[in-house]
Amino acid sequence: MALLEIEDLHVSFKTVDGVVHAVEGVSLSLDARKTLGVVGESGSGKSVTAQTILGLTRFPNATISGRILFDGHDLLTMSTEHLRDVRGARIAMIFQDPLSSLHPFFKVGHQIVEAIRAHEDVPRDLARKRTIEALSSVGIPSPEERFNSFPHEMSGGMRQRVMIAMALAMRPDILIADEPTTALDVTVQAQVLELIQALRDDFGTAVILITHDLGVVAQMADDVAVMYAGRVLEQTTRETLFTEPEHPYTWGLLQSIPRLDAPRTGRLNPIAGSPPSLINVPRGCTFHPRCPYAPPPAFETEPALTPSQPGHLVRCHLPIEERKRLWQSLQNEHPALR
């Protein structure tokens, strides 16, 4: 059985401009020790999905439906007090901007000690010892001294390590990482990704990795869900996503990025237009206004997320053979996609 099971999740927010349909029928499952990559651009619903897992979207203007099963309990109906026991201890989360997740007035070591003591009845000196161990295991030099540092005294990469150390100290079952390296330089990103991999390998922590970067997904994930306008458009293994992607949006993303691993090309082949408003989501397939291949039904009815082969789900009206043929010809045209 899956460790975490998201079933038909819907999240919408009432705003002055109208109802924002942030997540529309997302189902995902995460197995123990696995990394699930969730890829999408701004407004795809990837972060709202992640935040909803930990009850961080329980605002008065939010309407949430569906089920999120963890350890036999539905996290959506769980009381806030109960959820607090899960948060941090069983499911930890790290964010893009670690500065806003750390309290500016307290020493970082103190913040980790408090987090441990909030969930476990351990004496202060033991919690302190575990904190220093955690800080040292994420590669923070002289952890005893750094224990007494304030967040502003650290660099961005260092703060993200503190967040990972905090997660590590709790030995969670699941780590949700929401764009953990987006604000970091590429050499520091490599360090942080390596650390998340080590956390998974050493403690068997399952990871939900939310990112806009297909390269990060290719390096880290076992399975990948591609999200757009609050929906999953394609979901499969990492291998299949990069060798036999079937959704035109996935093709568009792959063609939009300049490549280091292929000869230079003259022009990129971007997706036309821009992402839709989540208040007025397009009728039919949400991607059809930007899709160069959209068949007539895509203008009227939304396609279902259906398997094209076992373990490969695609939300597209194009017939499977047509999709395979199109991908073939794209690969012939653009050697980088091979």
Binding site for other proteins (CB under 8 A): 41-42, 139, 141, 155, 157-158, 185-191, 193-194, 212-219, 238-239, 241-243, 252-261, 264-272, 274-275
User: Which one, 152 or 267, has the nearer CB to other proteins?
Assistant: 267
Q: Is 183 exposed, middle or buried (0-12, 13-18, 19+ CB in 10 A)?
A: middle
Bridge-based pairing of strands 18-30 and 35-39 is unpaired
User: Which one, 131 or 181, has the nearer CB to other proteins?
Assistant: 181
Q: How far is the CB of 238 from other proteins (least distance, A)?
A: 6
The rounded distance, in Å, linking the Cα atoms of 208 and 54 is 12
Neighbour count for residue 199 (Cβ, 10 Å): 22
First to last CA, the chain: 35
User: Which one, 65 or 265, has the nearer CB to other proteins?
Assistant: 265
Q: How far is the CB of 311 from other proteins (least distance, A)?
A: 15
Q: How far is the CB of 334 from other proteins (least distance, A)?
A: 12
User: Which one, 270 or 307, has the nearer CB to other proteins?
Assistant: 270
Q: How far is the CB of 37 from other proteins (least distance, A)?
A: 11
The rounded distance, in Å, linking the Cα atoms of 318 and 323 is 6
Neighbour count for residue 310 (Cβ, 10 Å): 6
Angstrom distances, CA of residue 235 to CA of 136, 238, 273:
37, 9, 24
User: Which one, 16 or 186, has the nearer CB to other proteins?
Assistant: 186
The rounded distance, in Å, linking the Cα atoms of 40 and 98 is 21
Phi-psi map region of 267: left, alpha, beta (phi>0 left; psi -120 to 50 alpha):
beta
Per the CB < 8 A criterion, the answer to whether 252 and 43 are in contact is: no
User: Which one, 74 or 185, has the nearer CB to other proteins?
Assistant: 185
User: Which one, 215 or 297, has the nearer CB to other proteins?
Assistant: 215
Q: How far is the CB of 74 from other proteins (least distance, A)?
A: 33
Q: How far is the CB of 108 from other proteins (least distance, A)?
A: 16
Alpha helices in the chain (DSSP H): 46-53, 80-86, 108-119, 124-137, 143-146, 156-169, 186-203, 214-220, 238-243, 248-256, 320-333
Q: How far is the CB of 110 from other proteins (least distance, A)?
A: 23
User: Which one, 69 or 218, has the nearer CB to other proteins?
Assistant: 218
Bridge-based pairing of strands 62-70 and 174-178 is unpaired
Q: How far is the CB of 136 from other proteins (least distance, A)?
A: 14
